[in-house]
Amino acid sequence: MTRTSPFSSTDDVAAAIERTERFLRRKQAPDGHWRAPLEGDTILESEYLLVRAWDGRLDGATVRGAADRILSQQLAQGGWAIYPGGPVDVSASVKAYLALKLMGHSADEPDLVRAQRAIAKAGGPWAVNSFTRFYLALLGQMPYTACPAVPPEAVLLPEWFPVNLSRVSAWSRTMIVPLSLMWAFKPVRFVPADRGIAELFGNDRDPSGPPMPTDASFWSRFFRGVDWGMKACESLGLTPLRARAVQACRRWMLARFEASDGLGAIFPPIVWSIIALKSMGCDDDAPEVQEARLQLERLVEHEPDGTVRLEPCRSPVWDTAITLIALTEASHGRTGVDPASDRAVDWLLANEIRERGDWSERVDAEPAGWCFEYANRFYPDVDDTAMVVIALQAWRKTAPDGDRQAAVGAAISRAVRWLEAMQNADGGWGAFDRDNNCEFLCKVPFADHNAMIDPSSPDLAGRVLEAFGRVGLTLGHPCVDRALAYIRRSQEPDGCWFGRWGVNYIYGTWQVLEGLRAVGVPVDDPLVTRAAKWLEVHQQSDGSWGETPESYADRGLAGSGDPTASQTAWAISGLVAAGRGESSAVRRGVTWLVRRQKSNGTWDQDEFTGTGFPQVFYLRYHWYPIYFPLISLARSRRAGAIARREQVA
């Protein structure tokens, strides 16, 4: 009697690889790049409607579609979550509720009655975060005194001062400057009472503001005192530098509109910049206002069901680099020119950033690198730059000599030198700046978005190590050795690593293992074996892996959650990098992927496995469950082939 293998055959794996490869090739844009949908939670649609309401532009099919999407995402218990399967989030829920009221929904509608109960249970409107308070103040639902002070004078603080603009993270910087202009002018558009949220406050509509924070640490109390002092000075008119500061903020903001998909090329500062410009007196037809509105509307995506989804930003560089890696891995062993890959390489080369940005205030290096979006001149980032280096080097190994090969080599050399210069003193890397790690700044009253600074993270260190290893920088190189020391220090007691930019410990552990292998760390090093063991222990009974975003709040949930194709792919690739490509765990994971692949070469995945701000904002990269499984299947196939050749030999 013939027994059927519980694992997918090599032919099954090859067929799965071919299907996904075909899918991705069909999706390439004519100019060579790829871009997949990028999805956040309903705070984007809510904030879009709130700013449109303040701007007097709450009409048209787009706003109706955004409201429909908000309703479609309401939880059964009445509130809104910040990721599928997550608990009710009070800030997201209050903004969604106000957006629906502004669109004409009544407080006594069943959906809104359920929302009222959920919001009350979650703490009520006074429990919302700082950025939500500003939206409520903007529309007359909360006094500005309930918001933390964001004085424009901060932009005047010199570099040598312990607190200054360059010491906060790049994304916070782009939000703080326009927000400070909003604070200075305190714009309000009062809405009719029946369009407001008075019913959410109930008998708790206390004009004195929210209750005092419970954090009694020194820096928290210090910054609360500063906040009180600044508000007291403003109430007395003691703002002698205000006019100068306002103009400095305006110049700073408008300078960063240049060669950018909006300020910071991300949704929040684009919205705040519209409010800031109009608060300063700019007319609707002013070029800068028109530009900010244009960039906001470019983030609108119309869904097949008629709803409207707002993207937090666009991800062409990231998607192009990873897709190029995936296609290179899938075509390993083939010969001949690949026009699709060549077009992608040309697009990446054309989008290299060769001008100085905010990073250069602390780093003296030749400008190089890549951003995440189509255009974000001031903010190339370490993660995208390292991923592009990996992609270009993968292409370079099989491409013929010529002008393109030379151009790629030069771009890689510049990028590597820039990455070396961006290394933090602790041996790791942040995303946008070097040594952006002043932890006391996380205690300022408006730092509750959980990303006030940009310190080293293991996943970024792992990716840079992978890029370095691909170009020949291995153990013994000073940058590599410092990074390895950081990686050793940051390994968790149970063997995994934290993932700042993907959910979460599965992501971090995979990426570090890739980096360790690339720079030559032996697979029998305890650093590697403990991490591989952690991945194996957290494999689910059906062969998959999954992890909930809740693991950022609850360490006990590390490596636990509903299975996803992207996280299963990361775990497989991590184990392959750890020298376990022929293990039962890898074969079971591969089988899980192959058997769940759709006929068009994709996988279903509604879960959010990308991270914007831990515990605050998560992302669904629609192609994470496509190009990452392709990479893992291709690498596991090659690892199996190598193992079989070794057995024969």
- 454 — phi, psi (to 5°)? -130, 65
Q: What is the CA radius of gyration of the chain?
A: 25
Tokens 């403003």, located at residue: 234
Please report, as a single letter, which amino acid is at residue 414: R
Helix (H) or strand (E) holding 620: strand 617-621
Among the listed residues 112, 264, 246, the one whose alpha carbon sits nearest the alpha carbon of residue 185:
246
Q: Around 626, how many Cα atoms within 13 Å sit in the side-chain half-sphere?
A: 28
Q: Which two tokens stand for residue 533?
A: 């063991």
Out of 383, 384, 448, 454, which one is annotated catalytic?
A: 383
The residues, any chain, with a CB within 8 Å of residue 161's CB and separated by 6 or more, are none
Strands (E), 358-433: none
In this structure, are residues 191 and 139 in contact, taking their beta carbons and an 8 Å threshold? Answer: yes
Beta carbons of 515 and 474 less than 8 angstroms apart: no
Size of the chain, expressed as the number of residues it contains: 649
User: Secondary structure of 302-333 in the HEC alphabet?
Assistant: ECCCCCEEECCCCCHHHHHHHHHHHHHHHCCC
Q: How many CB atoms lie within 10 A of CB 645?
A: 9
3 state SS of 252:
helix
Q: Would you call 383 a catalytic residue per the annotation?
A: yes
**Whether the Cβ atoms of residue 497 and residue 458 lie closer than 8 Å to each other:** yes
| DSSP for residue 180 | H
For tokens 């009544």, name the residue: 106
Tell me the catalytic residues. 383
